[in-house]
């Protein structure tokens, strides 16, 4: 198998997913976990399955290589969000060490599956280091931005920098704000989603000024998500290829901005699989290979 995804916007050729039937398992399991996981409500397993199948239908014909993680006894509802436990580089996978305690079993389970697929494990974040994939953004193949907040700490960033020393020319650490506190999921990707190498959807009210200015200096055009659509996850956009993306239904102003900039937009309903668990289309996917 080929692998390597040092990009957020290159055309996806291989992708990793986990179906809600294997993450949620059943309604009784959902009802036992959702409050402790800080979901906004209890997902309905039937509606979640329909939503997820509709989501996958948007890209099934375009991505030739689709892999599904199986059920695992050491993972819970959040394992549907396969983006967070692993970073995929051209040298192999880096297994994260989750900042959210109830997700600690996910990297090991995912790593075992990747090994079966033939993806080598470059390394693991260990000890006191914490790192989640939602805090890691490739601006290009040799430029990496990492958010430092409640889910990713300085030690996790230090280890990631060591693992990527031969893969990255510019490594930028972005301090994150308190926002709604440590129980709320605020990642770097909570306020930036690249849709091309020079275009990103952002919510600048959460963006540190030095980071925003650095993006503008790089020539990045920033499309500002309106306040009215930030809460409905308009800033969580998955690029299937440059200027071709998937976003959650219900954010018409952001969709129009994207289309005005030549972006092909596809929408899905994600009330059960995204909004209740605060994980959009990027969170639901882990590209294994991008062109």
* Per-residue pLDDT reduced to its tens digit, 141-164: 999 999 999 999 999 999 999 999
Evaluate whether residue 119 is within a structural domain: yes
Provide φ and ψ at 139, rounded to 5°: -85, -30
Question: Which whole number is the average pLDDT over 187-211?
Answer: 98
Note whether residue 4 is domain-resident: no
Q: Are 206 and 248 in contact (CB under 8 A)?
A: no
Three-point CA angle 250, 251, 254, nearest 5°: 165
User: Does residue 242 sit within a domain?
Assistant: yes
Which tens digit of pLDDT belongs to each residue from 239-277?
Answer: 999 999 999 999 999 999 999 999 999 999 999 999 999
**By the 8 A CB rule, do 27 and 21 touch?**
no
**Average pLDDT in the chain:** 97
Domain assignment of residue 7, yes or no: no
Cβ contacts of 219-228, under 8 Å, gap ≥ 24: 220/139, 221/261, 223/199, 223/254, 223/257, 223/258, 223/261, 224/257, 225/201, 225/251, 225/254, 226/253, 226/254, 228/253
Is residue 55 included in any domain, yes or no? yes
In 112-259, at which residue ranges do the beta strands (DSSP E only) sit? 121-124, 136-140, 143-148, 170-175, 192-196, 199-202, 221-224, 238-241, 244-248
Any idea how long the chain is? 291
Q: Which of 208, 255, 250, 207 has its CA nearest to residue 231? A: 250
Residue 65 structural domain: 12-290
Q: Among residues of the chain, what percentage have pLDDT more than 70?
A: 100
Handedness of CA 48, 53, 54, 60 (dihedral sign): positive
Answer yes or no: is 219 within a domain: yes
For residues 60 and 251, what is the distance between their CA atoms, to the nearest angstrom? Answer: 23
Contact call for residues 176 and 99 (beta carbons, < 8 A)? no
Q: What is the CATH number of the domain that holds 213?
A: 3.75.10.10
pTM beyond 0.85: yes
What domain count does the chain have?
1
Decide if 50 is inside a domain: yes
pLDDT band at 1 (very low <50, low <70, confident <90, very high): low
Is 154 a domain residue?
A: yes
Please give the Cα distance from 122 to 49 (Å, whole number): 33
54 class by beta-carbon count within 10 Å (0-12 exposed, 13-18 middle, 19+ buried):
middle
Nearest to 95 by CA among 103, 87, 51: 87
Paired tokens of 42: 């209890």
């Amino acid at each position: 198998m080929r692998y390597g995804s040092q990009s957020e916007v290159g055309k996806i050729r291989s992708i990793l997913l986990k179906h809600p039937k294997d993450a949620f398992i059943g309604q009784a399991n959902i009802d036992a976990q959702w409050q402790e996981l800080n979901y906004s409500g209890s997902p309905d397993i039937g509606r979640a399955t329909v939503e997820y199948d509709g989501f996958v239908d948007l890209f099934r014909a375009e991505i030739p290589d689709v892999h599904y993680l199986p059920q695992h006894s050491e993972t819970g509802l959040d394992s549907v969000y396969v983006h967070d436990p692993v970073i995929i580089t051209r040298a192999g996978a880096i297994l994260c060490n989750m900042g959210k305690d109830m997700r600690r079993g996910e990297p090991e389970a995912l790593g075992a599956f990747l090994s079966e697929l033939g993806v080598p494990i470059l390394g693991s974040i260990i000890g006191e280091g914490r790192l989640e994939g939602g805090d890691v953004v490739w601006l290009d193949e040799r430029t990496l931005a990492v958010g430092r907040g409640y889910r990713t700490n300085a030690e996790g960033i230090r280890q990631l920098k060591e693992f990527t020393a031969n893969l990255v020319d510019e490594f930028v650490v972005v301090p994150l704000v308190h926002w709604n506190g440590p129980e709320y999921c605020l990642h770097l990707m909570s306020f930036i989603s690249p849709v091309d190498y020079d275009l990103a959807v952002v919510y600048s009210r959460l963006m540190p000024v030095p980071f925003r200015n650095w993006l503008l200096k790089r020539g990045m055009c920033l499309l500002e998500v309106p306040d009215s659509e930030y809460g409905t996850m308009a800033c969580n956009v998955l690029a299937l290829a440059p200027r071709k993306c998937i976003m959650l239904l219900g954010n018409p102003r952001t969709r129009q901005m994207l289309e005005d900039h030549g972006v092909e937009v596809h929408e899905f309903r994600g009330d059960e699989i995204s909004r209740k668990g605060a994980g959009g289309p990027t969170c639901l996917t882990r590209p294994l290979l991008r062109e």
